[in-house]
Amino acid sequence: MVETLFALLVVLGMLAVGSYAVAVIDGAAGAVLGRTAHSNVFLLPIYQCASFWLVPANTTEAPDAWAWRLAPVLYLTFAAMGLALVPWSPSFIPVDLTTGIVLWGALEPLATVAIFLHGWSANSHFPLLGAYRYVSLGLSYILVSMFVLIGVSLPAESLQISAVVESQRELWNVIRQPLGLPLFLIVGLGISFWGPLNFADSSDLAEGTSSESSGRAKLLWQFGRAAMLVAFSAIGASAFLGGWLGPVLPGPAWVILKTLFILVLLLVLGRLLPRLSPDRFLTLAWVLLLPLAFVDLVWAGVEALP
Amino acid sequence: MMGGKPYGRAMAMTADDLRDGLQLDPLSFSVGPFWPVLPPGFSAHVTLHGDVIAEIQVTSIPYPVALPAIFRQALEKPVPIAELELARACYHLRQLSHALWVNGLESASLTVLQRIHALQPGDSLAGLRTWLRRVGFFFSAGAEKGVLGRDQAEKIGGPAARAAGIAQDTRQDDPQYQRLGFQVIYGHGSNCRARWQQWLDEAEQALSLAARAREQAVCTSDCDRVETPRGVMGRGGSPSDATFVLQELLPGLEWSEAIATIASLDLAAVSDYAEEGV
Amino acid sequence: MTFVDLTFFVCAAIAIYAGWRVFRTDSMVRASFFLLISFIAVGIIMLLLAAVYLGVALFFMMAVEMMVMALFMMMFMMNPAGLNPMNMVHQEKVAMGIGIAAFVALSGVAVFGDFPSRPVPDGLDPVVSLGKELLGNSMLVFESAGVTLLATMIGVVAMTSHRGRFGEANEGSVPPGLEPGGDPAGKPQENDQKQQGHHHHH
Amino acid sequence: MSLISLLIVAAALIGIGLYGAFSQQSFVMLMMGLELILNGVMLAAVGFWAMTGAGAPEGQLLTIIVMAVMAIEMAMGFALVVAVYRGKQADMTESLSGFKH
């Protein structure tokens, strides 16, 4: 009972601290690259939260009220479920399911459903377009991510995330399967629609799926996006960078360091790169990324042969 | 009643499809005039098939744009070329910064806006150009779309026409400009990428002209016509609105490409009044 | 009542209620998501039954399937939300009778049937045993399913494509014209066709 | 959670699915009915596997096969809908009287 409560606290803490870290790192990256002088990158997210909190909520004509209110909550819940799968050390894993990798693979399509629902239920054209556009891309992300994740579970001979971490004791998957991590990170940017892959909430759609929401609903949605990015980084760190494995420092410290490393990488990339046209990225995803994911899988299979 | 948006509500009805003949339900709605991505005052009625624009009808043309006062002064008396060209460079860079913002490069857009405030004659834009090339801006959404026909390019005038290969620039007739070694930049192509490059090139050329003109303290000599960043303005008239080009240009483009195309074109008429407070 | 029982009853209620709502809602997008909820509830019941892989597999299979279903609905009618009442049914009484009869018959089997009680042994790892079965004794079944899926993919693309290998996909399915280039023989009047197109918006 | 309660839930799902498959006019809604039937079938299969099958792996295999069948049914269903829609602009069962155009 105490252990369950502790695990719950860790996941909730990770949600809060992780999202705050995302906001700080993103603000810092923006300040460095955009050469704007923000007052203080550490306080800025708090000001932003406060301003979102105080803005009155918006509504549209005849939205699907249930779905509209629920979608951000669902998205955040899926991010939290993803964070719960992250193993911190051999002895502390909030949820150690024997099919953890598959559950993570299931969270991605479920997140897609939540994003679609968020855009569709507002009953307005820009959110609808964002949702529509996202789903057409989401299917390709899911496939790529599936293959890459099967790739990491091959050397582990298990679908358990802790077993995947343990299988990297000699060699991290990022070296053993060099294609895996880049592909996984592209999927991560896609599913949390960040930076160059922000197709669902992009500026050319007036913020797409969230263009009709404001105030606390919007805050929750942004919170979910940041949390999803953290969950992706943490799972990526476990599946490719050896999770808790590392010298000197205790396991959880390594998990945090590696997660932060991936987060910084993703956020800087997000600030640096322009948005492609969705049409072009769709072609890229099916013609280049999916075959690369196949290659990764074959590579992993050949490498895992005894 | 079927289809369209009766009483403001979108209703389902199939319509002919542009792509492969599968007749699906179009989505009709209005955009503008309160959307910072579009030129101020511009609004249109759009019909989409999925993400592809089937039809666009301009319902309100953008407000005329007020140019810096120097361009109007150039029609009354000779003005220092250095000042004129600096204003031109700022104008083009502001357009470019908007295009960067639309294509998801908010940081770069802010950087460019900040550069504008501290822009000096003789500044080099090579760093900016290299950076934009490295991050792939010239391959971002819409880069190869928005191809103008020759008629359309002529109608729009200004940098868009020069990018499309029409070597028209009043400055080449001005002996003072000739003394500074002015040569028309033209012919990048008629798509969005070409127009982005044209802005960058013209801004860079304007800055180097400004530097030379400041050294030699040259003023314009032709007071009948002036080449504004939007096109030729003379005693006869100023560049007029060309928004209707969009009605031919946008159908068939994807939404993001269409928005990038709108951001790559400067279509508003030139106002009779100059920008205030400059 | 244990925690497992409680979860089971809640999930069962959700699965049945959501399944019922599928046919009672005014928007097809909502209907497909109700179906998804029903599947997820069944997936959780499977997790309770220790079918760890199947339960989770059901989540992602159905999330993708229902997403595609919703997307198709959007393509055919881009009505952002169910603003119009939607009740497109035929022979409803008969259908209801069949449904109830099937329920009664199957429940009768459940209640009066005599099933042996042989639960899953304690030491069994369901995921490993499923994997060994799939790539061992039942390899042929598994591979046939794979080949069938591949054939489906190819067939489906061929069927939906606008252009076939030898021209228009629906070429030959339209009777030839009465005169060269004329309307096909037996083509319904223009009015009729419009009517059919509008039909589902009633 | 006993086998009987599991099977009753499965029977209810199958019953509702049958009602949907027989009563709905729209192709897609009809497919939803079929999916709901298969949902009940899968639940029953897993129930049997867990309670009476002594963990025989074939029980799980059956469920996997049902999932594959669902995927095929969906894909074929949508392909048919698109093909019919292309030819006839119809997405209702009544508008089809035969398989030919």
Residues C157/C160/C166/C167 CA torsion (nearest 10 deg): -140
Tokens standing for residue C47: 């997790």
Q: Are B206 and B88 in contact (CB under 8 A)?
A: yes
Q: Which of A67, A106, A132 sits opposite C59 (nearest CB)?
A: A106
ipTM entry: 0.83
Tokens standing for residue A232: 């992706």
Assess C89–A contact: CB distance below 8 Å, yes or no. Answer: no
Q: Which of D9, D76, D101 sits opposite C16 (nearest CB)?
A: D9
For B50, phi then psi, to 5°, come to: 60, -115
Q: How many residues does chain C have?
A: 202
Summarize the confidence of residues C177-199 as an average pLDDT. 52
Q: How many residues does chain B have?
A: 278
pLDDT value for C39 = 93
| Beta carbons of C56 and A125 less than 8 Å apart | no
pLDDT value for C195 = 44
Tokens standing for residue A128: 């609808």
Chain B positions touching D26 (Cβ under 8 A) are: none
Peptide bond into B40 cis (omega under 30): no
pLDDT value for C194 = 43
Kindly tell me the burial class for residue C140, based on how many C-beta atoms sit within 10 Å of its own C-beta (0-12, 13-18, 19 or more): exposed
> Which of C42, C46, C59, C60 to substitute to test the interface with A, most A CBs within 10 Å?
C60
How far apart are alpha carbons D5 and D3 in whole angstroms?
6
CATH of B69-240+253-264, one of 1.10.645.10, 3.20.20.70, 3.30.1450.10, 1.10.10.10: 1.10.645.10
Kindly tell me the burial class for residue B33, based on how many C-beta atoms sit within 10 Å of its own C-beta (0-12, 13-18, 19 or more): middle
pLDDT tens for D5-36 read 889 999 999 999 999 888 887 778 888 899 99
- In chain C, domain spans: 1-80, 126-163
**pLDDT at residue C107 greater than cutoff 70:** yes
pLDDT value for C173 = 54
Q: How many CB atoms lie within 10 A of CB A91?
A: 9
For A39, phi then psi, to 5°, come to: -60, -50
Residue of B nearest to A193 (CA): B104
Residue from C71, C18, C70 nearest C44 by CA: C18
How far apart are alpha carbons A234 and A257 in whole angstroms?
10
| Beta carbons of D39 and C69 less than 8 Å apart | no
Q: What is the pLDDT along chain B (278 residues), one digit of tens a residue?
A: 345 555 555 555 566 666 666 666 677 788 878 888 888 888 998 888 878 888 888 888 888 888 888 888 888 888 888 888 888 888 899 889 998 888 888 888 888 888 888 888 878 888 888 888 888 888 888 888 888 888 888 888 788 888 888 878 887 788 878 877 788 888 778 888 888 888 888 888 888 888 888 888 777 777 778 888 888 887 777 888 888 888 888 888 888 889 989 988 888 888 877 777 54
Residue from D11, D13, D3, D14 nearest D48 by CA: D3
| Beta carbons of C76 and B25 less than 8 Å apart | yes
pLDDT tens for A161-176 read 888 888 888 888 888 8
pLDDT tens for C136-175 read 888 888 888 889 999 998 888 887 776 655 556 555 555 5
Beta bridge partners of A99: none
CA Rg, chain A, in Å? 19
Assess A287–B contact: CB distance below 8 Å, yes or no. Answer: no
| A237: amino acid identity, one letter | A
Higher pLDDT, B148 or A221: A221
- In chain A, domain spans: 2-304
Cα A182 from chain centre:
14
For C26, phi then psi, to 5°, come to: -95, 5
- In chain B, domain spans: 6-60, 69-240+253-264
For B45, phi then psi, to 5°, come to: -105, 125
**% of chain B exceeding 90 in pLDDT:** 0
pLDDT value for C85 = 58
Alpha helices in B236-277 (DSSP H): 245-249, 255-264
Residue of C nearest to B23 (CA): C76
Chains D and A touch (3+ CB pairs under 8 A): no
Average pLDDT, chain C: 77
- DSSP secondary structure string, D65-95? HHHHHHHHHHHHHHHHHHHHHHHH---BGGG
State the pLDDT confidence band at C14, using cuts at 50, 70 and 90.
very high
How far apart are alpha carbons A17 and A264 in whole angstroms?
15
pLDDT value for B1 = 33
How far apart are alpha carbons B253 and B54 in whole angstroms?
8
Task: Specify the range with the lowest mean pLDDT, choosing from A225-229, A235-239, B120-124, B253-257.
Answer: B120-124
CB < 8 Å from C in window 22-81 of A: 62-64, 67
pLDDT value for C200 = 43
Taking each helix axis from N to C terminus, what angle separates C139-160 and D57-88, rounded to the nearest 10 degrees?
10
How far apart are alpha carbons C134 and A63 in whole angstroms?
46
Domains of chain D: 3-95 (1.10.287.3510)
**CA angle D39-D40-D42, nearest 5°?**
65
